[in-house]
Each structure stands twice: as structure tokens, then as C-alpha cells.
Amino acid sequence: MKGLSEVQKAAVEELLAQMTLEEKIGQMNQESPSIVGGFDVPFEELIEMMTDGRISKQEFEHIMSSATQDFHEDAIRKGGVGSLMVQDPVKVNELQKIAVEESRLGIPLIFGLDVIHGFRSVYPIAIAEAGSFDTDLFERTARMAAKESRAAGVAWHFAPMVDVARDARWGRVSEGPGEDPYLGSVFARAKIRGLQNDHSSTDNYVAACLKHYVGYGACESGRDYNTVSMAMHLFYNAYLKPFAAAVDEGAMTVMAAFNDLNGVPCTVNEFLLRKTLKESLGFPGFVVSDANAIRECVTHGIASDEMDAGVKAAIAGMDMDMGTGIYAKNLKKAVEDGTVPMAVIDEAARRILSVKMWLGLFDHPYVSEETMARYTVLPEEHKALAREAAEKSVVLLKNENNILPIDPAKKVALVGSLAESEEEIIGAWAMSWKKEDCVSILNGMKETFPNLKYFPCGGPEGDISMDEVIAAGDYGDVIVAVLGELVSMSGEASSRADITLPGRQRELLEMLMHTGKPVVLVLMNGRPLALQWEDLYVPVIVEGWHLGIEMGHAVARVLSGEKNPEGKLSSSFPYVTGQCPVYYNHMNTGRPGSKSKFTSRYLDAPLGSLYPFGYGLSYTEYSYSDFKVAEKEDAFEAVVKVKNTGERDGRETVQFYMQDVTGSLVRPVKELKDFRKVALEAGEEKEVSFTLFKKDMGFFNNEGIYCLEEGAFRLYVGGDSRNCLMEEVYLKEV
């Protein structure tokens, strides 16, 4: 394993030699605190009863107040638990003490949690942060999240989520870096470095967990947990790519996805886990199942019962069982009767112990009082990073008549109930934030715009107050309408069949437009939305996503012009939902969509996306010229001049794409190969260059063999995936 010294490796082997079969299987068991007492039905059903309205939220809370949590202390004492999901440092220490001092071999627990886009400092959701195209930022936010969580005893993040995701109906598009395998790979690598590489103290790094391995983002029709069928060339060239990159960067753990891939659930998929991940990619760490996924193999119809599911998962290469207890209950018998080879158990235990060793848990199992107290008040430096990330992730989609930026002296009518919310800026999957750190849009805007008045008017749910709409129109020189999705409308189990603005928000926009005042639409959402109507009628659209604790300041700074927007889209936006999945790097067809009838198109929707991947405006403009490509022995050197032709300084993301024109397999119409973030003062011009190595111009075929083929290639450079300059080159003698 990368980073494990010979001494540490020897210590792992020494420990393994002393362990009983039960203790090894114990390491393969991850538990969550279970809720016990106070109610007669299983906890999951209780949640369902609240969700479907059989009991109210108040009744649920009342029942919960009489329940207690079981932290599995007895099982820990017996060496029967390897990992737990807990985030309270006092509890962490208490449970760790049992493992270290009371279990026979004193093996520490590893505490894991979903730290997807920040721990206490919550940053933009990943789909938004990826749009900053800022590799250094990806790394710094991950490093900060690692420090904050380690101070709470959480040494293992179930992140980064690097699923390539191209169907905006899928709620989990919010958690990952978007539709492009190259941007996804850059993001994945940076996150691994940020989470794992600062070994100046054990307080500074955690083990990352790449998820969800693999293909989850391609679930059919964007419905969560749905089946995935995929040609193998697509698997290798797109969906596997960010995982392969992150494994190469040294990722310590991987989580298998819920879905099946071409008929075999990832949880029990030997081809994926053992052959591809561990053997071909050489992944040295351990694989954990997704929550409850081993049990779900029975429901999936791939295993006849829990024993069968556990056996299949273990043999396939699944090292740790998240939350079902199936390994703990069944694997001993399966080994004793010869169904599961002892070598499988040894391998899993070795991998898990190695990660614990690498984390320094054997020497530093506890959180010290000093570390625990470190972030009692969130340091200014952490807030500043959250603000930087938030403002770099804002994407300006439309700015007619230069309505933005807004002069801070103007009377701003702030509209939309999302604007006042502290919870709704956080995004799906954040659980360690504190309300006191959160700056709502209303609070952030008030600091910058002294003449601001707030008129809730309506939101993603509920009615519209006509009186407030009229009052907003009467008051404002300009109306800023904060509309979009609730946090609960994206993330896991939150697919939507209609991705227009939910509820009556479009109606609200229409009413606001009728006031005759200029309307600035600020979106808060966890996925690309279908904005055909908004793009036609609303003069200004700002994509604000769920930007985290500093969202209010970031939006205020962008709207006032203190910050020139620089974010680009990491995912294409459709005109209408029916176009999903819509993405820029789609395969070529024999009849590319055009105005003529017999082409690849819809009768009732425009061609392509409304806003393409890589798109985003700013308060200045950039021009591209003199694109030249020179051939070297092993590479093509491309150079282009980029000029800031406007009156404000800005930062442009210069994007470099390639198309393999003719190949032994059909190839995408464009593929991102590289990008560069360039700071340009008003009027300034810079030359930006890219090196495309010939060895990187190939692709994987359906057998997973890398093919580098002679022929014509088109190289493109531009400020988004649609508007590019193009040069053709010929690759020979490969």
C-alpha cells in the first residue's frame, strides 16, 4: 500500500497472525448506532410512517425522545466491530476506549461519515464546486474538511463521490463533479490529495472513500437505485475514469454502488471489485458496501438468502459490510464449511488493518481535548475558504442589458422564501454544520445593499402572496428573486421526473415580471434545471446552487460586482426535462441533429442543451484568436490568444477539447482533454498553451484494451464546450 512503511506492513502481518477467524470477520463489520426502545415497529418503518404521513413529525419526535441508541459496546469488546458511523468526539473516545482497552487485541475502530462537501465548514455541493474548475480549490476545501472532521474523531470520509452523472433527473447529480470524465478525474485526484496527503500530524488527514463504484450515475431514467446497462467502451472511457484516476492518486477505500451493472449488482460483482479494481487498477485499500446493500442482494434477486448474499459479496472482493451484520452472522460458518476460502477473509482483514495503520489509529486512537476544542468557534480562515469556494462556484447564465452588477445604493426587493433560509443553503448530505455559521442570502445581501427590503412572496412549496408581489414591485428599483429547490429535492432518493422550477415558482416569476421592474433570478438548486421559459423571459439568471455556509456573502458579492463571476457549468442544462440525459460529450451518430426531419432530434424541443457544459458568463468578455497547433514527436502543442475585451478584471476557464474523427469505434463528438484558469486584467491578452500527448489520444475498446489509432483529430479551444475555435491534425505512426 502506498504510504505504508515496511515496519507498518510487518505490524499488520504480526497482528493478523494473532487474530482468530471471528476477530478477522469483526474487522469486516461496520455498524451504525441502532435506535432501540420506545416503539413497536422497526426504525426504518417508523421513518416511512412519518414520510407517508401515518404519523406526524411531532409524533415521530415524541417517540424518538423515549428511544435510546445502541452503540454495540458488547460487540466492540468482543472484537466484533471494525468500524462505526459516529461523529461526536466524546462518544468516539468512549467507544474507542472499549476497542483499545477491552478487546483482546486492542485494535482501534475506524469512524466513518458522509463528509461530502465539508464538515463544519460546508462548501458548495460538488456539482457546483466542480464548476469553479479550480483544482487548487478542490484540494484546499478537502484538506480543511479532513482537519475539521478528524478533530471530531472522524478519520474516514465517504467521499469523494465521483460518479459521472448525465441525467439531471437523478437527485444525486448534486453530490458529484458533473458529466465529464476528465473534469471528474481532475476533481477526484485533487480531493484525494486534499483529504489524504497532509501527514504533518494525524489530525490533518483522513482516508477517502471513492464512491459509488461504479456506473451509479447512469441509472436508467435517472431514477435512484435503478438498473444500469452499459456498453463496456463507455464503462472504460467514461464511468470508470475518475475512479481509475483517484486510485492512481492513492485513494485508500472504495464504496461499491447499489446498482447492478449489466445484470450483476456491484456489491457482488467480482469483475468490478476483484478483477478490475484490485487486480487491474492495483487498488491496495479496502472496499466497503453501500448501506444495507449486501442484504439488498436478496431483494435484487441475485442471492437466495442472507448467507448467500454474504458469501457472494465476500468472494467478489467486498471487504467490509456496511450496516447489515450479515458478515458477522454468516461468514464464520461459510469459512468453516469451505464455501468462502480463508484467504478471502485474510485479505479483507489485511486491507482494513493496513488503512487503520496508515491513518495512525494504532498510535493515536483518541481525539485529544485540545484537538476537540480547536473549532469550538469556526475560525475566520475556514469561513474565508468557504466564501472563496462559494463565490467561485456561482455561474452567470444570462445578463441582458447588463442589469448586473447592481449598484449597492439601489432599492433591492428581495423575493422568495429560500432567501431567508439558513438550512437551504447547505445542500444535501451535510450533517455537521451549525446554524450560527450560516449566512443566508437575506443576511448576506443586507450587509451589501443597505436599501434592501425582503418580501417572501412564495417558494418551492406553498402559495404565492399577491400582496407581497405587488409590494415588492412598488418598492424595488430591481427585484432579486431567489427561487429553486429545497435541499430535500436533490441528493439520495430524490429523483425528479420534472426538473422545472418546483411548485408555483414559475407563476411567481411571471407575476414579478408583470411589475415592470427588472428581475434577477438567483437559483438555488441541486441539479441542472429545465429553464426554457426562464431563459426566454427573465432578463438575468444566476446559478447559485447550494453554496454552503457562506452562500449569502457570495451571492451579495457577485450581484454587487465586488466579485466578477467565473464559474462554469460542470453539467449541461436541458431546455425541457424530456431531453434528459443531455450532455456535450455524447456519441456521434449517422444523423446528427439538425433542422431536417430525419435526424437525431425531438419534434418538440430545440437541439442540444440550453446551457452547455463549460458555459458561464462574467461581467467582462473574452475573445479567442490565433489558435495554432504544432506537431512534436510525442505531442501536439496547441496555443491560443485569449483577451479580456471588457472593462473589468476577470478569470476565464480556457477549455481544450478533442474529437477523434474516425476510429474503429464511434467516438464522442467532443471530449475535454485539459483546461486552464487564466486571470486577465481588463484589456489584457495572454497566450495559453496546451500539450496533448499522442499517447493520450486513444480510447478503450469493449474488451478494455487501450487503442491508439492513426487518423484525423479535431482540436478545439474555447470558453465553453459549444463555442470553440478548431484545428484539425493527423495522428500517424502510432
Helix then strand then coil, % of the chain, to nearest 5? 35, 20, 45
The nearest distance, CB 280 to ligand BGC, in angstroms, is: 24
- The mark string for 665-684 relative to ligand BGC (x by CB under 6 A, - otherwise) is --------------------
**β-strands 711-718, 83-84 pairing:** unpaired
CB atoms within 10 A of CB 647: 10
The nearest distance, CB 299 to ligand BGC, in angstroms, is: 15
Answer yes or no: are the C-beta atoms of 210 and 160 closer than 8 Å. Answer: yes
Rounded Cα gap, residues 126 and 122, in angstroms: 11
Q: Is 278 in the site for ligand BGC (CB under 6 A)?
A: no
Of 70, 346, 492, 535, the residue at the interface with ligand BGC (CB under 6 A) is: 492
Amino acid at 337: D
Answer yes or no: are the C-beta atoms of 413 and 476 closer than 8 Å. Answer: yes
Rounded Cα gap, residues 330 and 298, in angstroms: 15
The nearest distance, CB 267 to ligand BGC, in angstroms, is: 12
**491 or 719, CB closer to ligand BGC?**
491
**492 or 727, CB closer to ligand BGC?**
492
**247 or 293, CB closer to ligand BGC?**
293
Amino acid at 650: G
- Site size toward ligand BGC, by CB under 6 A: 6
The nearest distance, CB 303 to ligand BGC, in angstroms, is: 19
Locate cell 404519523: which residue?
55
Q: Which residues pair with 658 in a beta bridge?
A: 671, 715
The nearest distance, CB 31 to ligand BGC, in angstroms, is: 12
CA–CA–CA angle 569, 572, 576 (5° rounding): 135
The nearest distance, CB 486 to ligand BGC, in angstroms, is: 19
Q: Which residues pair with 185 in a beta bridge?
A: none
The nearest distance, CB 28 to ligand BGC, in angstroms, is: 17
Rounded Cα gap, residues 279 and 277, in angstroms: 6
Of 23, 31, 114, 485, the residue at the interface with ligand BGC (CB under 6 A) is: 114
Q: Is 158 in the site for ligand BGC (CB under 6 A)?
A: yes
**Number of alpha carbons in the 13 Å side-chain half-sphere of residue 408:** 14
Site for ligand BGC in 694-723 (CB under 6 A): none
φ, ψ of residue 331 in degrees (nearest 5): -70, -30
**217 or 612, CB closer to ligand BGC?**
217
Answer yes or no: are the C-beta atoms of 562 and 445 closer than 8 Å. Answer: no
Locate cell 484589456: which residue?
683
Q: Is 291 in the site for ligand BGC (CB under 6 A)?
A: yes
Rounded Cα gap, residues 8 and 614, in angstroms: 45
Residue 179's contacts (CB-CB under 8 Å, 6 or more residues apart) are: 164, 165, 166, 570, 571, 572, 583, 584, 585, 613
**158 or 583, CB closer to ligand BGC?**
158
Max Cα-Cα span within the chain? 80
**158 or 584, CB closer to ligand BGC?**
158
Of 24, 147, 157, 211, the residue at the interface with ligand BGC (CB under 6 A) is: 211
CB atoms within 10 A of CB 446: 17
Q: Is 283 in the site for ligand BGC (CB under 6 A)?
A: no
Nearest residue to the partner ligand BGC, using Cβ: 158
**209 or 439, CB closer to ligand BGC?**
209
**255 or 415, CB closer to ligand BGC?**
255
By annotation, the residues acting in catalysis are: 290
- The mark string for 416-435 relative to ligand BGC (x by CB under 6 A, - otherwise) is --------------------
The nearest distance, CB 492 to ligand BGC, in angstroms, is: 5
The nearest distance, CB 330 to ligand BGC, in angstroms, is: 22
HEC letters along 340-387 = CCHHHHHHHHHHHHHHHHHCCCCCCCCCCHHHHHCCCCCCHHHHHHHH
**490 or 505, CB closer to ligand BGC?**
490
In the complex, which residues of this chain contact ligand BGC (CB under 6 A)? 114, 158, 211, 290-291, 492
